[in-house]
Structure 1
Amino acid sequence: MAGADERRTRQDLYLEISRELTDEEVSDIRGYIGGKQLPTGSIQRATAQEMFNMLERKRILKKGDLSFLVKLMESIDRQEFAEAANEIAEQESEDKGSAEELEALITRNRVLLTKRLQVSSLFPHLIERGLLLIDEKEDINSKTTTQGKAEALLDLLSRQGKCTPDVFMEILKLGNHEHIVIQLRDVLEKKGYSCWMDITKMGGGDKLHAEIDRGIRQAKVVISCVTPNYTKSDSCQNEVELAYRLKKPLVPVLLEKTAWPPEGPMAMPFAQLLYIDFTKESKEHPWKGAKLNDLITSLEQRLKQ
């Protein structure tokens, strides 16, 4: 049970119910929903918590509406859990504006997100915040394409209504090193360099592609912050390819251990280049010391070319 000073969530309640119910009560729940709300075969060995999560995926338990859970708890004479479900539903209704804002954010940027989202790197941060369960992760991973996994994750976040726009953006930054790259931009701008970066441009579609094209064409040097996910991203591959074809000087910066040159479309542009290795620097604030000096030196050399 959540501490007195903590806000109790539906997942807290699901877990508490699952731990407290007797085998007979769980069996009664299976009998109540089996063959009606959920297929009987899918819940024969499911815990109460697993059944509640299945009901969420069926949209029977929704953000701000736990009335079906209330009925379930009343059917087995567990009034204390019915009352707790009502309280949590009221809390969620108060937060519904944030959920709708997230859904709107995802809708506006869906094309960009499905192309660039590196789903596997987001899993640990989502699980840590209680926004993703293991069975939900497995369901997303069962999709055969990167875009399919991104679609499934976005659908889940929109449907469950538990994540706010601010938390979503924070997780995106943690998952794709955006916060680290923004730090680099800030460091370079303080040193007098004019910088452009596409990851601050949430929008998508033709407008975003035109901005990226213009940004690369106007650049004197292109710095690539390389990770395994970066090398697999279609959008990042296209950007490196465009810079290479335009004969823009490339400066690769390694943020995570990556095969060199990377396999695939980035192999040719990077094959003859030496990367600057930041993999052993601070994960939160790597842009300082000897490695930063190496980067500045490389940048200056290419600006003089």
Structure 2
Amino acid sequence: FQIRIGKPDDNINLLFQILRQFSSLKEQYEEIQIILESIWFLSFEYSCAKNIHSHDKYFALLVQLSEINSNEIIQQAAKGILWQLKQTISINTNITNKLIISKPSKHIMFSYNHDSKDLVNQICQDLRNSGYRTWMDTDDMHGSTLDCMAHAIEQACLVILCITEKYKTSPNCQSEAEYAYRLKKPFVPILLQSKYKPDGWLGIILGTRLYIDFTKNDFDSNYNKLVKEIEATIK
């Protein structure tokens, strides 16, 4: 299917029309996933988020897909949209969620796209071996995925943003990064894709921050730079 680029609210209405058609069909998981990811990106816009949240049928369809759909990827995408709607609306209406009070034993959280999992896991394990308390979603997830991610960000003393093009185009990664940015969490960006230059929402969050380029030099020298940056940031 093709979607004509127009006003965001028009795109929302069209996407939900298509979503209703596909959700009634069996084994259309890939198409539904693409539609949900498109809606997820649009849900960062306040007008779109308000449109979805106030439209009973749109909201009910998302709840239905998040609860009873047999495909886990579709469930998580629908839950991601519902979570982002709450964040977008609260930011733009000055409603502040009550955050969990941080405990003394905070951790370093990794925000990354799963295509970078192997390298991120290596960095994470080395930090643990060096005595740092770290958090990755591969071994510290219990209960709702989104609740766990939000809690991990809230309890973090530092967030490591693992930058790639797929990180930038992932609505899930965008939700994590923007939530950390909103909470004013200290962060250290590391580049994991050669010659990639962050732009769009990711470029705005990074601003003029310099990142550690893990695509150049050897791993150990980059790891040592990361440790120095962590120490300088959380001291």
Q: TM-score, normalised by structure 2?
A: 0.51
Matched, 1:290 2:229: no
Of residues 62, 75, 91, the one that matches 1:111 is 75
For residue 229 of structure 1, what is the amino acid of its counterpart? K
* TM alignment of 1:1-305, pairs within 5 A: 107-112=71-76, 176-200=115-139, 207-257=144-194, 259-260=196-197, 262-280=198-216, 288-304=219-235
Shift of 1:177: 1.5
Give 4+ residue runs of structure 1 displaced > 2 Å after superposition: 106-116, 198-203, 257-260
For residue 180 of structure 1, what is the amino acid of its counterpart? L
Shift of 1:271: 1.0
Deviations 1:92-146 (A, max 9, x none): xxxxxxxxxxxxxx83444337999xxxxxxxxxxxxxxxxxxxxxxxxxxxxxx
RMSD (Å) for aligned C-alpha atoms: 3.0
- The structure whose residues are more often strand, as a share, is 2
Deviations 1:49-89 (A, max 9, x none): xxxxxxxx9xxxxxxxxxxxxxxxxxxxxxxxxxxxxxxxx
Alpha carbons of structure 1 residues 237 and 199: separation in structure 2 relative to 1, 3 Å = farther
* Higher-Rg member (1/2): 1
For residue 300 of structure 1, what is the amino acid of its counterpart? E
* Structure with larger RCO (C-alpha < 8 A, sep 6+): 2
Task: Count residues in correspondence.
Answer: 135
1:111 and 1:275 map into 2 onto residues whose CA distance is: 34
Shift of 1:277: 0.3
Unaligned runs of 5+ in 1: 1-56, 58-105, 117-173
Percentage identity across aligned positions? 35
SS at 1:251 equivalent: strand
2:78 and 2:148 map into 1 onto residues whose CA distance is: 19
